[in-house]
Structure 1
């Protein structure tokens, strides 16, 4: 009986560990370059990008399929974009009418707790329209800053992690390639990492953070708060 009890504990620990490793995230995909007065498509996925797992929207965690997609235009005006359920992703579009940087983002705390953990799913992307561009801050507590251009194979990409306007040092950023290769980098004193991209396609970057935090969410108590932040860029 003692052997079976110990075996059950080990299996449970392995299961929990595997679930943590396999934690899903949402991410946004869009062409980083847009054209004035032309419709620009945006897609939102949920799954595990590193292993090629994309969940059908009916299977998304909690109320994630009801998330809101926000657009911050070149004049810093924020609007909510309409989303259409396409079965394996949510899709939206907008028409940029001026040159500048357009930012799309999601900040969605899931309705349900995972045990006693509150989960916040955050995603962002930027679209450049025209040559004259002015970068403005995005209304997310934690966010990435990275290049807007389409990169080429063997280019060096620089990614900065910020909280407000302050760089976050000594934090992990996971870089996931379309080939299935992934690598974790640690930010320097400026909150930056640099990585060479060696495969064409869409790359996803992710930063997650778990804190001890007590509170009540939808009439249920939680003791931890998890935040997962993602963004994507393209390589040709």
Structure 2
């Protein structure tokens, strides 16, 4: 019993703050023919640092987002620097599920042994079609995905972690609730985590993994990734 309680405490520990990460903030519902706004923020959900303080962003640097439409076609969205975020917009032209993806290797100092990579995903549903709601549309090397089209409070949520297109087991994923409460869950053999949300609102999933590499001028990749979903 003590071992079970210890395990549950480790996996479901409640924390007051979470680590800084890159998030794409946007409404997860869009309307065909109407502009849809996106924000790239750095910090913690609802506590964003000024762009000038982002260690991975240099003044004037262009950060591009990849827009994946429901039919699988892609386009590039350029961002504009604002006070505490980068902004972008697109206009949905078909019903279905859109994905907006950020993937970027950060600037690495000469001689540094670790290459950091930032990944972030946002999924926007337009209309009632589920066309495009597939992990195969995403080219990020690390991301959390869900095939669910809606999330209900007190009902089980299922998320899958992918690395290089393969479900990834035995990895801790951080779930950040609307209240700021944090839960850590470990993926199972199929790369899946499941939990029951306790509040309505927007949730974030965040994960990081390190990978040893050969034939590069550095020794390892350190990747982070985030996504969000809304519980009604």
TM-score range, shorter chain: 0.7 to 0.9
Q: In 2, distance between residues paired with 1:162 and 1:212?
A: 17
Equivalent pair of 1:128/1:148 in contact (CA under 8 Å): no
Measure the CA separation in 1 of the matches of 2:222 and 2:53: 20
Q: C-alpha separation between the residues in 2 aligned to 1:147 and 1:205?
A: 14
Q: Name the counterpart of 1:196.
A: 196
In 1, Cα distance between the equivalents of 2:224 and 2:170?
17
Alignment of 1:100-115 (within 5 A): 100-113=96-109, 115=112
Unmatched runs of 5 consecutive residues or more in structure 2: 1-16
SS for the counterpart of 1:66 is coil
**Paired residues, what number?**
210
Q: Distance in 2 between matches of 1:122 and 1:165?
A: 14
1:3-22 to 2 correspondence within 5 Å? none
The residue number in structure 2 matching 1:5 is none
Is residue 120 of structure 2 the alignment partner of residue 123 of structure 1? yes
Farther-moved stretch of structure 1 (140-149 vs 90-99): 140-149
* Inter-CA distance 143–22: structure 2 relative to 1 (3 Å threshold): closer
Structure 1 residues 84 and 148: alpha-carbon distance in aligned structure 2, compared to 1, 3 A threshold: farther
Task: Please tell me whether Structure 1 or Structure 2 has the larger radius of gyration of its CA atoms.
Answer: 1
For residues 121-148 of structure 1, what are the alpha-carbon distances to aligned partners after superposition, in whole Å with 9 as ceiling and x for unaligned? 0001111111122224212233222156
Q: CA deviation at 1:208?
A: 0.4
Query: What is the alpha-carbon distance in structure 2 between the residues aligned to residue 62 and residue 164 of structure 1?
Result: 23
Asked whether the equivalents of residues 51 and 81 of structure 2 are also in contact (C-alpha less than 8 Å), the reply is yes
**Is contact 2:141–2:165 with CA below 8 Å preserved after alignment?**
no
CA distance in structure 2 between the partners assigned to 1:67 and 1:84 by the alignment: 8
The offset of 1:33, in angstroms, is 1.6
Asked if the contact 1:156–1:196 (Cα under 8 Å) also holds between the matched residues in 2, the reply is yes
Q: 8 Å contact 1:31–1:234 — kept in the other structure?
A: no
In structure 2, the partner of 1:33 is 29
**Which of 99, 104, 112 in structure 1 is aligned with 2:95?**
99
What is the aligned counterpart of 2:57 among 45, 63, 73?
63
